[in-house]
Amino acid sequence: MTHLGDILDIDLATGAATRRPLDEAAARSILGGRGFGVLELWRSTGPDTDPLSPSNPLILAAGLLTGTGAPTASRLQVTARSPLTGLLGSSNVGGGFGFALHAAGLAALVLHGAAPRFSWLSLSPSGVEVHDARDLVGLETFETQAAIAAQLPGPHGEALVIGPAGERLLPLACLVSQRGHAAGRTGLGAVLGAKNLKAIAVAAAGEATPVGTGDLACLARRYVRQIVATDRFNDFHRYGSTFGVEWGNQRGVLAVRNFAVGRLDGPTGVESAAIHQFFQQRSGCRHCPVQCKADVRVAAAGTDVSAAGADLVGQRPDFEPLVALGPKLGITDPAAVVRLHNRCDALGLDSISAGGAIAFAIDVFERGIITAVDTEGVELQWGDEPAAAALLEGMATGEGFAGLLAHGVQRAAVQLGRGTHRYAYHVKGLELSAYDPRAAWATALGYAVSSRGADYTSVYPHHEFDLPAAEAERLYGSAEAADPLSPKGKAALVRRSMIVSAAIDALGLCKVPVLSLLNRFDLELEAELTAFAGLPLTADELFTAGERIVTLERLFNLRCGVDGEADKLPVRFTERRLESLPDGDGVVELGEVRHELYELLGWTHEGIPAPEVVRRLDLDPLVETAMPGRRE
């Protein structure tokens, strides 16, 4: 029987740790990563679980292929009930932590309860240890990683840490692994902070599994060759995802100045060439040919680049942070955006939500709805790096007006009142990401129905931007599925995207090479890679596993009290045109296409998975008879 790794349960209150195997039946059903996370969360929580209580477990699950030597398989899924949304909290991160778990013989780590004092946790061949972390209080993430690395035995340890924002249990707090890798969305850094932990470290016994020789090596080389041969490989390899900024600006899909317009008439300032001027050296995850990360060097704000010791050495932002801290804030200075992003990582703040919160604040200030009295004397305007930087620092402390923003735009608008909710752009409490939904119907629908709120990557409807019309007709029943400004075919496109995206996350593969570069949503190539786990699965089996994950995530949110009524966009996008689009376009009313998606998924008109779907996916034993909408 194939050993797929163990699940390590740790009771933080006592330090007790127990192992249980990930059995083959469960792996075939939900794979790992994102699938294991939602399944474990379903079993461990109830409808009344407080996200910041000891009863909310924090689940760190490597994908089924993570660390096996399969190309691009580096991802780790972090799952808990979200302190930002109150719903499913889920975030996916690359880097080396998933590899370290696999090297330690673990498929997942589940943290229960809370430590009795501020601590950090280490896993090593000698066992689980809880260490006093009082000397780490207040440290930023990079300082914390350096302090912990000095205490780990051997060269292959990895740590997931929180910064000041997580210590203060702020709902925009994230977890950071290495430099430039963050489990950013849905506030899971606050969950680790609520467990009285500053960090989790794995001191692995050795390197993660190499690709090896023989059939698996041939399979890996073939997969990599296909990635390298794609049209966009050189762009991603050289610039990471930063080149998407000029593409998005040309198409008019960027969230400029809190979604006021979809493009800037001139350069955004954060195009790939502008960011590339700071390039120092390329980096990335193991076993991935893309190597899309990079070290950068920029002058500290207000200093000359030649000033001794003034340079910031940090990480190149990806597409989403570039937009969130650049065009969305009206900032066109590339050095400023790099600085702001690296401050988010250092403070342990989700850069996407932080950018959205600052954009909301500037918007309502510019409109005169709030004043300097509300902002404690800070004058807010588009393009002002010092003001944005000051808000980030304040958000990490949780104090004053900036601290209010660290609770997300939904709560900030409720607290401020005065109609500010009209400019607080979120779905189910999660701030919208980089694309303006009025310029892309599948993206709009994905924002509305995503299990974690207004998010692109957990659905990833890339095909609406990059698919020949004939292929769109074949896959989705309409050539217009490949036209972002048409609603036709978008329900079928989003259904496939949701399911494939869930399967990819559960396998632990990175979506850049799999979905952006290969641009295949059929799971055929990925099915071949399951040989690396010693658990060969077909594309159909992977698709069914993805459908099972999507359905269980939906059931989890239903149990938390949210149904299809919450699957809607802020009214700005349904009532106000996006002026940069052709006449007749520019608003998205999702009612019809949303219900078409429900029907394709086998959900009711209210967005509830029908009993026959729950049974077909073998989820019926998990679902209480009291589940809303259940009919026998």
- Check residues 627 and 178 and name the one with the higher pLDDT: 178
- CATH number of the domain where residue 295 is located: 1.10.569.10
72 and 10 part of one domain: yes
Contacts of 116 (CB under 8 A, 6+ apart): 13, 196
- Is residue 1 scored above 70 in pLDDT? no
Give the domain-ending residue among 202, 237, 264: 202
Render pLDDT for 505-547 as a digit per residue (tens, 0 to 9): 999 999 999 999 999 999 999 999 999 999 999 999 999 999 9
For the chain, what is the domain count? 3
Q: Which domain holds residue 491?
A: 437-622
482 and 546 part of one domain: yes
373 and 445 part of one domain: no
Whether 114 is covered by a domain: the verdict is: yes
What average pLDDT does range 84-102 have in this prediction? 95
Of 195, 234, 210, the closest CA to residue 117 belongs to 195
459 and 544 part of one domain: yes
Q: What is the reported pLDDT for 203? A: 87
471 and 499 part of one domain: yes
Q: What is the reported pLDDT for 81? A: 98
Q: What is the reported pLDDT for 628? A: 47
- CATH number of the domain where residue 143 is located: 3.60.9.10
Q: What is the reported pLDDT for 311? A: 85
- Which of 134-148, 210-224, 536-550 bottoms out in mean pLDDT, i.e. has the lowest? 210-224
Q: What is the reported pLDDT for 3? A: 77
Contacts of 482 (CB under 8 A, 6+ apart): 463, 464, 467, 468, 469, 471, 472, 489
Render pLDDT for 354-385 as a digit per residue (tens, 0 to 9): 999 999 999 999 999 999 999 999 999 999 99
**For 220, phi and psi rounded to 5 degrees?**
-65, -45
**For 48, phi and psi rounded to 5 degrees?**
-105, 10
Query: Residue 601: CA atoms inside 13 Å, Cβ hemisphere, count?
Result: 32
- Is residue 97 scored above 60 in pLDDT? yes
Of 616, 614, 562, 547, the closest CA to residue 631 belongs to 614
Render pLDDT for 424-471 as a digit per residue (tens, 0 to 9): 999 999 999 999 999 999 999 999 999 999 999 999 999 999 999 999
- Is residue 106 scored above 60 in pLDDT? yes
Q: Note the pTM of the prediction, 2 decimals.
A: 0.95
Dihedral over alpha carbons 495, 502, 241, 93 (to 10 degrees): 160
Distance from C-alpha of 190 to C-alpha of 476, rounded to nearest angstrom = 40
- Is residue 306 scored above 60 in pLDDT? no
Whether 223 is covered by a domain: the verdict is: no
58 and 119 part of one domain: yes
Q: What is the reported pLDDT for 631? A: 39
Q: What is the reported pLDDT for 152? A: 86
Which amino acid would we find at residue 491?
A
Whether 343 is covered by a domain: the verdict is: yes
Distance from C-alpha of 383 to C-alpha of 302, rounded to nearest angstrom = 15
- Cα angle 145, 323, 467; round to 5: 110
Q: What is the DSSP letter of 114?
A: -
The greatest distance separating any two alpha carbons of the chain, rounded to the nearest whole angstrom, comes to 72
How far is residue 455 CA from its own chain's centroid?
8
Distance from C-alpha of 182 to C-alpha of 321, rounded to nearest angstrom = 11
Cα separation of the two ends of the chain = 38
- CATH number of the domain where residue 508 is located: 1.10.599.10
Q: What is the reported pLDDT for 622? A: 84
256 and 117 part of one domain: no
Q: What is the reported pLDDT for 439? A: 94
Q: What is the DSSP letter of 86?
A: S
Which alpha helices (H) appear in 450-523, and where do they start and end? 469-476, 490-507, 511
Is residue 212 very low, low, confident or very high in pLDDT (cuts 50, 70, 90)? low
489 and 558 part of one domain: yes
Q: What is the reported pLDDT for 495? A: 98
Give the domain-ending residue among 136, 168, 202: 202
